[in-house]
Chain A
Amino acid sequence: MPALTFSSVSKSFGSSEVISDFTAEIPDREFLVLLGPSGCGKSTMLRMIAGLIDISSGDLLFDGRRVNELEPRERNIAFVFQSYALYPHLTVRANIAFPLLMDRFRWWQHIPGIWSIERRRAMRLPEVARKVAEIAEIMELTPLLDRRPKTLSGGQRQRVALARALVRDPSIYLLDEPLSNLDAKLRSQMRIEISTMYQKVGKTFVYVTHDQVEAMTMGTRIVLLDGGIIQQQGTPTEIYERPANAFVARFIGSPAMNLIPVEVAHGGVRIPDAGILPVSDAPVAAGQSVTLGVRAEKIALAASGETDSTGTSRSSSASAPRRSWGSGSGMRRPRRSVPARCATSTTRASPVRSTSPSAIRARSA
């Protein structure tokens, strides 16, 4: 049950860098979600953890032990492939049992005839049969056990792939968009199934998805990638409430966070055509252009003339020390219980993130 340590892990295919400088520390038993838009390098990252592709530079550590050179099977992992990768010539039962048979593989089974005999014998072992039946039950595959992958629907194949990965007892589970092909009902059901599994086995999970609902509901920790670069890492709440930059703010949340170009004025920010929104203690000098981020659920209608808004924010750029914008006192809380914040980032790309809970009441224009 290793803790994962990535130190400056990079991957290049030829001259194109797909992952650059991935540094993260994942404690034991976390449910890590790798989140990001299509093509950002999530699958590549997962393949490197599995040992299916080489790490171009940097180190990957399981529990402090460098595993860069270890073969996949020496890393003791389970992997669910984005494209299922079932064995098309084997039945569903044999597909699910395959990892168990491989655990029992001895060198003399290389001899073809012996392998067939051994395989048949191993399939009948009560332990193997029990495990296969158990996981098939969970994944609702019991009636399909003697079919071949060709005759299954996409969702059924995905569940076979999931079952094959979960049937063993590895120390890390790697899942690459395992629910992408399921319908909404089955998806939420499988989401619960995987979460339950996670709670039960108490192992480290790395889960790749581009679906933020999955990320938010299942993950205990999220790493958000874009273009192979970590945009932010933290718990789902942290990422939702304190987006590190405009990309994160836009990517997380539905509807996406409102990002409004404003100018810093004395005592607040000037919203074009809408006057000044009071924010105390602006982090940048008056006259600068910044971006104001407001979650939709934090905006409430108010009577004309009433601008009872307060925002707090804090700079998080490496150069600038964290600084609070005055937190509002005597403000009216919005009806929703989710804490609001306003995120800002300067146009000069120094990311600014909001901090303590605050509320903004924007005047209806």
Chain B
Amino acid sequence: MLIVLAGFPIYWMYDTAITPRDQLFTGQPLIPDVTRTPQIFDVFTSGVPLLQWLANSSIVAFCTTFLSLLLAVLAGYGLSRYRFHGRGVVGFILFATQMLPEALLIVPLYALFAGLGLLNGLVGLVLADTAFVMPVAVWIVKSAMDSIPYEIEEAARVDGCPRFVILLRIMLPLSAPSIAAAAVIMFFDAWNEYLFASTFIQDRDKWTASVGLSSFIGEFITPLSTVFSAAIVFTIPAIVFFLLVQRHIVSGLTAGSVKG
């Protein structure tokens, strides 16, 4: 049931993409005609800089993922292992940021970026996306590190391992599955992000794919086949990224370290 629910949009996207335009409004065939391929190449030749948009999206998604994971590993380790005053408060604030809707943040961020000259550029977008998605990553990494027994770290300290090496060589590999999962979430969030991208970026060739895609929906005509073909192209890099990371998402890495 869930698979059907989750799978239907994908099916519909594919079905729409391969159906000729005149058929779409007169009744789309439920069983896709598999002999037709999506008009993917039309999309590239239709005069829109789709490749440029995809590249922009990739840059933003990769940078956001990298930056938020870097911060999340450091912050997650600190939150998990160091007892300091206000630890609970920091944890709460992390959650609190997730309660604010994106739309609410956008006005102050816009003002801030306007002041810093970060508008209409990918750097600003990466920063905004990172700020928005990072708390989730921090939380995931912190939980993962919480579940690593203290004794492993203590053993490393006795063996003369400096703090940073403990983080890099022990904590990081042991929380790799969660970090990979967090990476997927970060990447997809940044890849799909629309509101920041559409507000901060004005130039057409700096658009991300999500903005570009929605620009197909014109005031008068909406070339559905083209939109959905482009949508397929849009999902492919995300799927590729997921497949790359997915093999790291295996559980039970800490198994065998301690008793019981």
Query: Chain A: residues with CB nearer than 8 A to chain B?
Result: 47, 50, 52, 71-73, 77-79, 81-89, 98-99, 102-103, 105, 109-110, 112, 115, 148-152, 154, 157, 164, 181
Q: What is the distance, in angstroms, from B63's C-beta to the closest C-beta of chain A?
A: 20
Do A84 and B258 have beta carbons less than 8 Å apart?
yes
Do B152 and A73 have beta carbons less than 8 Å apart?
no
The 9 closest A-B pairs by CB, nearest first: A150-B256, A85-B151, A73-B160, A149-B256, A88-B257, A102-B160, A83-B258, A85-B155, A99-B159
Do A73 and B158 have beta carbons less than 8 Å apart?
yes
Query: Chain B: residues with CB nearer than 8 A to chain A?
Result: 149, 151-152, 154-162, 164-165, 168-170, 173-174, 252-259
Q: What is the distance, in angstroms, from A114's C-beta to the closest C-beta of chain B?
A: 12
Do B259 and A154 have beta carbons less than 8 Å apart?
yes
14 inter-chain pairs at a CB distance below 8 angstroms, sorted by A residue, are: A73-B159, A77-B158, A78-B158, A79-B154, A85-B152, A85-B258, A86-B256, A87-B257, A103-B160, A110-B168, A115-B165, A115-B168, A150-B252, A164-B155
Considering residues A78, A79, A85, which has the most beta carbons from chain B within 10 angstroms of its beta carbon? A85
Do A52 and B257 have beta carbons less than 8 Å apart?
no
Query: Apart from A84-B257, A99-B158, A110-B162, what 6 extra A-B contacts exist at CB < 8 Å?
Result: A52-B158, A83-B258, A89-B173, A151-B256, A152-B256, A164-B159
A109 / chain B contacts, CB cutoff of 8 Å:
165
The residue in chain B whose Cβ has the minimal distance to the Cβ of A84 is B258
Q: What is the distance, in angstroms, from A207's C-beta to the closest C-beta of chain B?
A: 16
Do A150 and B255 have beta carbons less than 8 Å apart?
yes
B254 / chain A contacts, CB cutoff of 8 Å:
88
B170 / chain A contacts, CB cutoff of 8 Å:
87, 89
Do B160 and A99 have beta carbons less than 8 Å apart?
yes
Which of B154, B161, B164 is the one whose CB lies under 8 Å from A81?
B154
The residue in chain B whose Cβ has the minimal distance to the Cβ of A181 is B259
Which of A72, A88, A181 is the one whose CB lies under 8 Å from B174?
A88
A85 / chain B contacts, CB cutoff of 8 Å:
149, 151-152, 154-155, 257-258
A50 / chain B contacts, CB cutoff of 8 Å:
154, 158
Do B151 and A83 have beta carbons less than 8 Å apart?
yes
Do B155 and A81 have beta carbons less than 8 Å apart?
yes
Do B256 and A157 have beta carbons less than 8 Å apart?
yes
Q: State A152–B155 Cα separation when bound (angstroms).
A: 19
The residue in chain B whose Cβ has the minimal distance to the Cβ of A86 is B257
Q: What is the distance, in angstroms, from B249's C-beta to the closest C-beta of chain A?
A: 15
Q: State A50–B156 Cα separation when bound (angstroms).
A: 12
Q: State A157–B257 Cα separation when bound (angstroms).
A: 8
Which of A71, A73, A83 is the one whose CB lies under 8 Å from B259?
A83
The residue in chain A whose Cβ has the minimal distance to the Cβ of B257 is A88
The verdict on A83 contacting B160 (CB below 8 Å), with A88-B255, A151-B256 known, is no
Considering residues A78, A84, A87, A115, which has the most beta carbons from chain B within 10 angstroms of its beta carbon? A87
Q: State A82–B169 Cα separation when bound (angstroms).
A: 23
The residue in chain A whose Cβ has the minimal distance to the Cβ of B161 is A102
Do A148 and B258 have beta carbons less than 8 Å apart?
no
Which of B151, B160, B174, B256 is the one whose CB lies under 8 Å from A105?
B160
Q: What is the distance, in angstroms, from B168's C-beta to the closest C-beta of chain A?
A: 7
A77 / chain B contacts, CB cutoff of 8 Å:
158
Q: State A41–B256 Cα separation when bound (angstroms).
A: 26
Do A71 and B165 have beta carbons less than 8 Å apart?
no
Do A89 and B160 have beta carbons less than 8 Å apart?
no
Q: State A162–B156 Cα separation when bound (angstroms).
A: 14
A149 / chain B contacts, CB cutoff of 8 Å:
256-257
The residue in chain B whose Cβ has the minimal distance to the Cβ of A79 is B158
Q: State A89–B159 Cα separation when bound (angstroms).
A: 16
Q: State A89–B254 Cα separation when bound (angstroms).
A: 7
Q: State A79–B154 Cα separation when bound (angstroms).
A: 9
Q: What is the distance, in angstroms, from A155's C-beta to the closest C-beta of chain B?
A: 11
Q: What is the distance, in angstroms, from B149's C-beta to the closest C-beta of chain A?
A: 7
Q: State A148–B156 Cα separation when bound (angstroms).
A: 17
Q: State A164–B155 Cα separation when bound (angstroms).
A: 10
B174 / chain A contacts, CB cutoff of 8 Å:
88-89
A103 / chain B contacts, CB cutoff of 8 Å:
160
Q: State A152–B258 Cα separation when bound (angstroms).
A: 11
Do B159 and A98 have beta carbons less than 8 Å apart?
yes
B158 / chain A contacts, CB cutoff of 8 Å:
50, 52, 72-73, 77-79, 99
A148 / chain B contacts, CB cutoff of 8 Å:
256
Q: State A51–B259 Cα separation when bound (angstroms).
A: 23
B256 / chain A contacts, CB cutoff of 8 Å:
86, 88, 148-152, 157
Do B169 and A115 have beta carbons less than 8 Å apart?
yes
Which of B156, B164, B253 is the one whose CB lies under 8 Å from A89?
B253
Q: What is the distance, in angstroms, from A62's C-beta to the closest C-beta of chain B?
A: 15
Do A52 and B253 have beta carbons less than 8 Å apart?
no
The residue in chain A whose Cβ has the minimal distance to the Cβ of B176 is A89
Q: What is the distance, in angstroms, from B66's C-beta to the closest C-beta of chain A?
A: 15
The verdict on A112 contacting B155 (CB below 8 Å), with A85-B258, A89-B174 known, is no
Q: What is the distance, in angstroms, from A142's C-beta to the closest C-beta of chain B?
A: 19
